Amino acid sequence: MHRHGFFMMACLALPVLAQADDSRVEIGTGVASYYGAELSGRRTASGERFDPSAMTAAHRTLAFGSRVAVTNLANGQEVIVRINDRGPWGKSRIVDVSYAAAKQLGMHLTGTAKVKLELLN
C-alpha cells in the first residue's frame, strides 16, 4: 500500500476511535457508600479478591467488568471504577465503591455521597 493510502486510512479511523472513548450512558443518581479494609482479601461476586486500593465497585445489575464514571454531585469529583461485585444491599444505595474510589470522590470521611453514575463504552 502506498504511504498516502495508509495515511488516509489512519485519518479516517481517528474520529471513530475518539467517539467510542467518549460515549457515556447515564444510569441514574442516588447515594453511594464505600467498603474498606475490613473486607480486604475476601472474594467478590466476580471471584476476584477485594482490594480496597483498587478502583472497583459493587452494583446490583451491571455486568462484571463494566466501567462506570461516578461523580460526587456535592463537589464535582469524578472517578472511573470497574464493577467486580454485587451490591449494595441497602435499598437506599445505588453503588458501593472501594475505599480508594471513595477517597478520590471526597466521601471517605462522611461515608456516603449523592452521586451520578454513567456507563462508559
Rounded Cα–Cα distance for residues 121 and 113 (Å): 25
DSSP designation for 5: H
Q: Which of 24, 5, 2 is nearest to 118 (CA)?
A: 24
Distance CA 1, CA 102 (A): 51
- Contact present, 52 and 40 (Cβ < 8 Å): yes
Q: Is the pLDDT higher at 5 or at 55?
A: 55
Residue 56 to residue 50: CA distance in whole angstroms: 9
Domain 24-120 has CATH 2.40.40.10: yes
Under 8 Å between Cβ of 101 and 70: yes
pLDDT tens string 48-107: 999 999 999 999 999 999 999 999 999 999 999 999 999 998 889 999 999 999 999 999
Asked if 29 and 117 count as a contact pair (C-beta separation under 8 A), the reply is yes
State percent of the chain over pLDDT 90.
Answer: 74
C-alpha cell at 35: 467498603
CB 70: neighbour CB atoms within 10 A? 26
